[in-house]
Structure 1
Amino acid sequence: MRVHNDPMTRVPAARIEASGLTKHYSGVAAVDDVSFTVEPGSVTGFLGPNGAGKTTTLRMLLGLVRADRGRATIGGVEYRDLPAPLEVVGAALESTGFHPSRTGLDHLLIYTKAAALPASRATAAIEEVGLGEARNRRVGAYSLGMRQRLALATALLGDPAVLILDEPANGLDPAGVVWLRSFLRKYAATGRSVLVSSHVLTEMQQLVDRVVILHRGRVVRQATLTELADSHGDLETAFFELTTNQEIRS
């Protein structure tokens, strides 16, 4: 995994682009005309209250949910058309679904075999996320924070140009949160794109370069932290002002 051993290594850029994404469930718009970009070399926070449409949008980006309208591309290509998706996009939308009887390393080895990746990727990934000493421990004995790290290791297997993570700090202790922040900042510094969904606004304030804020299925603001500071003071203030108003801002 070239990025982790050499933080100055550059990789092919891959921009995330969502254009007019719309998804209805039972006639109700869960996501309504959502458009945004995540530029290479940046960490973008994807924020919104529960039910704002964040998870549905992320799943559309990854081809797990078909949009009613609109298009999502990564490096100009829809996820389903990527010839080697794990080498372009690494995603961790949840820290569940691990077989409790498998070891952490075995879990990763299964993925490398399925994706025709070298087994050395599994070893490198589990070391990079700090689970080296627990590699031969069964996942059923992992804490929530350890499972979060294993989910991140799975996302890293293909050494991707893009990371899409949903609540990656959930279950991490304070030292783990600081580690994750440093890791993602360094990852983006190599020219990669990082999209992170989280409810922890204080952590997002320290991690991200810019934010996309959703409310009731629509984008109500996308801006850099500097731009938010100029208009609202800080991220927390901006978030509550933008998501507690009754009228959706276009």
Structure 2
Amino acid sequence: MREPIGRIEVSGLTKHFGGVAAVDDVSFVVEPGSVTGFLGPNGAGKTTTLRMVLGLVRPDQGRATIGGTLYTDLATPIELVGAALESTGFHPGRTGLDHLRIYTAAAALPRSRASEVLELVDLSHASNRKVGGYSLGMRQRLALATALLGDPAVLILDEPANGLDPEGIVWLRRFLRDYAAGGRSVLVSSHVLTEMQQLVDRVVILHRGHVVQQATLADLTQTHGNLESAFFDLTASQEPLS
């Protein structure tokens, strides 16, 4: 049976750096039509895991597939997966529109797509401004626009609300929920637990390189009261690694 195109399956991912297990036997699934929150304290291994899912870091063990295929084996990854792991790396002397047009040309996408995604992220008003003059929140929107260029079935985002004002955070929440409601998969890593409480359907909590919980938000809140309490209960109860 063929896997759904937007299904992310992480199975036994393990990665050591200098003898230290940054990620240890991590497994979880992200289903189409849902927003999954990927949570954990600093140093828990979240970013390393996301980088392994995207083929940027080679795991020591395990595998991560999207629609049953390794990211590195996807024929046209930009059309299946959109990722924004940071809001840096933009050339400060280029405009937001020029930045996106470079990507559309490289991916053989229609030139008009650059303007379309700027409108999607409410950044059209700054399309001809140089990125060096963008605020952090504007760079976050540009990073999201870049991830959306291929109209992907999967979005993988690391701290997408960082730098957004309250209005921008509400806009992002609605955008991601609508995106998932269209049958797509959204995996979001964040430290903002109160916002995750209002955004996600499912939660994967990572601590010291291990998955300590994966469940629906409804199940977690029924047991712990709210996501913040669940997070601290689950991460505080784990024994330190030897």
State if a TM-score over 0.5 links the two structures.
yes
Residue 10 of structure 2 aligns with which residue? Answer: 18
Q: How does 1:53-92 map to 2 (within 5 A)?
A: 53-92=45-84
| Superposition deviation, residue 232 in structure 1 | 1.1
Distance of 2:66 and 2:5 partners within structure 1: 10
Distance of 1:246 and 1:108 partners within structure 2: 44
Residue 114 of structure 2 aligns with which residue? Answer: 122
Distance of 1:72 and 1:188 partners within structure 2: 20
Matched to 2:33, the amino acid is: G
Q: Is the 8 A contact 2:5 2:66 kept in 1?
A: no
Matched to 1:89, the amino acid is: V
Residue 51 of structure 1 aligns with which residue? Answer: 43
Pairing 1:206–2:193 present: no
Distance of 1:174 and 1:80 partners within structure 2: 37
- Provide TM-score, normalisation by structure 2: 0.97
Distance of 1:24 and 1:77 partners within structure 2: 24
Deviations 1:57-94 (A, max 9, x none): 00000000000000000010000000000000000000
Distance of 2:113 and 2:180 partners within structure 1: 20
Distance of 1:71 and 1:126 partners within structure 2: 34
The percent of aligned pairs where both chains have the same amino acid is 79
| Superposition deviation, residue 158 in structure 1 | 0.2
Q: How does 1:23-38 map to 2 (within 5 A)?
A: 23-38=15-30
Pairing 1:137–2:133 present: no
Distance of 1:150 and 1:230 partners within structure 2: 37
Distance of 1:226 and 1:123 partners within structure 2: 38
CA RMSD of superposed structures (Å): 0.9
Matched to 1:198, the amino acid is: S
Distance of 2:144 and 2:134 partners within structure 1: 14
Q: Could you list the runs of 4 or more consecutive aligned residues of structure 1 that deviate by over 3 angstroms after TM superposition?
A: none
Residue 6 of structure 1 aligns with which residue? Answer: none
- Contiguous gaps of at least 5 residues in structure 2: none
| Superposition deviation, residue 236 in structure 1 | 0.3
Pairing 1:226–2:218 present: yes
Provide the secondary structure at the position in 1 that maps to 2:69.
coil
Q: Is the 8 A contact 1:13 1:191 kept in 2?
A: no
- Contiguous gaps of at least 5 residues in structure 1: 1-11
Q: Is the 8 A contact 2:96 2:131 kept in 1?
A: yes
Distance of 1:77 and 1:143 partners within structure 2: 37
Distance of 1:50 and 1:229 partners within structure 2: 23
Pairing 1:41–2:41 present: no
Q: Is the 8 A contact 1:52 1:215 kept in 2?
A: yes
Distance of 1:145 and 1:14 partners within structure 2: 28
| Superposition deviation, residue 121 in structure 1 | 1.1
Distance of 1:45 and 1:219 partners within structure 2: 13
| Superposition deviation, residue 103 in structure 1 | 0.1
Residue 4 of structure 1 aligns with which residue? Answer: none
Distance of 2:77 and 2:113 partners within structure 1: 15
The answer to which of 145-154 and 115-124 deviates more is 115-124
Q: Is the 8 A contact 1:104 1:135 kept in 2?
A: yes
